[in-house]
Amino acid sequence: MKNGTIWNDDEGTPIQAHGGMILEHDGVYYWYGENKGAPNASADGGWARVDVIGISCYSSRNLRDWHHEGVVLAATPDDPKSVLHPSRVVERPKVIYHQPTRSFVLWFHADNSTYTAASVGVAVSDSPTGPFKLVRSMRPNGIDSRDMTIFKDTDGVAYLFHSSDWNRTMMISRLTDDYTNLDGFHAPSLIAQSREAPAIMLRNGTYYSVTSGCTGWDPNVALYATSSAVIGHWRLIDNPCTGPHARKTFYGQSTYIFTVGDQPYLMLDHWKPKNLQTSGYSILPITFTDDGMEIAWHDEFNGI
Ligand code: DGJ
């Protein structure tokens, strides 16, 4: 699979799973993402967007051959008040497994076409391939929320990372034990640093975040930050990208870090705002040296 381009599924159809993530469950990898498989719609305020189609899911055993499992959380054209109405914005879906109830919980950025609703949506399913049922949407703890991710710690406690305060500050909000709500405990990180597109990982007791700057669909410099606790003292360290186009994140933007064995991988979106459905993907291995986190460009990702 050529990094930076759109990839095809096992039927030769372009994969529509942008702003996505990969979850491993019982030996199967599930790739969830935004289905943007339609021409751009006109947008209020000049934001390029595609009418909401829903969240797609693809499955694979080798991270190379992807089978389309369908749209697992679909738009609701008949309900203009729903956060899933086609006129809205549904971005950056992230799914975690809730072991005690054997259910899958999906969080996503729920917004309007001018990004002023700044909310999240939560949906659940008893199967990784859906269908997911919307259980709530809200502003987390009453705070605005745009780009977001979910991180599940080794103790099973999960957190929502969300760009807040008009994207100035990355808020970290703890989920309830059932993962479908927030328990109220939250704290800011990267205060007034204007970071978005968060992706989180844990290595040797240190938590890492990779984020982008806030330049709409245009690429910018990624930065990683570290902390000894999820809700803790996060410090921005450096740009993890190396080599040509490192200061543009290889013309991509972070969306998720998944790990296979001990190897973490960063997923990138390569946005094409003039025709969002043609936006590409990359998966790049993350390495660590004495100097810290490094991400080099690789022309291809061919699975495991
Ligand atoms: C940057 C975000 O990272 C994307 O998910 C999307 O919300 C665009 N901004 C919209 O301009």
Q: How far apart are CA 95 and CA 108, in angstroms?
A: 9
Residue nearest to atom 3 of ligand 1 (CA): 197
pLDDT reported for residue 45: 58
Residue in the block written with tokens 């599930």: 30
List the structure tokens of 128.
Answer: 């990784």
- Choosing from 217, 256, 267 the residue with most ligand 1 atoms within 8 A of its CB, the one to mutate for a pocket test is 217
First-to-last C-alpha distance (Å) of the chain: 12
Residue nearest to atom 10 of ligand 1 (CA): 216
Mean pLDDT, range 74-89, rounded to an integer? 97
DSSP output for 217-285: TS----EEEEESSSSS--EEEE--EESTTGGGGGG-EEEEEEEETTEEEEEEEE--GGGGGG-EEEEEE
Residue nearest to atom 7 of ligand 1 (CA): 147
Mean pLDDT, range 9-31, rounded to an integer? 98
* 147 Cα–ligand 1 center, Å: 7
> In 10 A of CB 88, how many CB atoms?
22
- Choosing from 255, 269, 270, 271 the residue with most ligand 1 atoms within 8 A of its CB, the one to mutate for a pocket test is 271
pLDDT reported for residue 294: 98
Report residue 61's pLDDT band, with 50, 70 and 90 as the boundaries.
Answer: very high
Question: Helix, strand, coil shares of the chain as percentages rounded to 5?
Answer: 5, 50, 40
CA-wise closest residue to 20 among 246, 199, 248: 199
Q: How far apart are CA 159 and CA 65, in angstroms?
A: 31
* 291 Cα–ligand 1 center, Å: 30
- Choosing from 148, 196, 276 the residue with most ligand 1 atoms within 8 A of its CB, the one to mutate for a pocket test is 196
Ligand 1 atom with least separation from CA of 146:
7
Contacts of 291 (CB under 8 A, 6+ apart): none
CA-wise closest residue to 254 among 242, 244, 269: 269
36-58 pLDDT, tens digit per residue, is: 999 999 665 568 999 999 999 99
Sign of the CA dihedral running 182, 211, 155, 95:
positive
216-236 pLDDT, tens digit per residue, is: 999 999 999 999 999 999 999
* 271 Cα–ligand 1 center, Å: 9
Ligand 1 atom with least separation from CA of 197:
3
Name every protein residue with a CB atom under 6 angstroms from any ligand 1 atom.
19, 47, 91-92, 147, 196-197, 216-217, 253
Contact 275, 40 (CB under 8 A): yes
Strand-pair category, 241-242 with 235-238: unpaired
Q: Is the pTM of this model over 0.85?
A: yes
pLDDT reported for residue 43: 60
CA-wise closest residue to 118 among 51, 151, 185, 165: 165
Q: How far apart are CA 123 and CA 130, in angstroms?
A: 10
Average pLDDT, the chain: 97
* Cis peptide upstream of residue 140 (ω within 30 degrees of 0): no
Q: What is the CATH number of domain 18-296?
A: 2.115.10.20
Residue nearest to atom 11 of ligand 1 (CA): 216
Q: For the chain, what are the domain ranges?
A: 18-296
- Choosing from 34, 55, 88, 91 the residue with most ligand 1 atoms within 8 A of its CB, the one to mutate for a pocket test is 91
* 155 Cα–ligand 1 center, Å: 31
192-220 pLDDT, tens digit per residue, is: 999 999 999 999 999 999 999 999 999 99
- Phi and psi at residue 47, to the nearest 5°: -80, 125
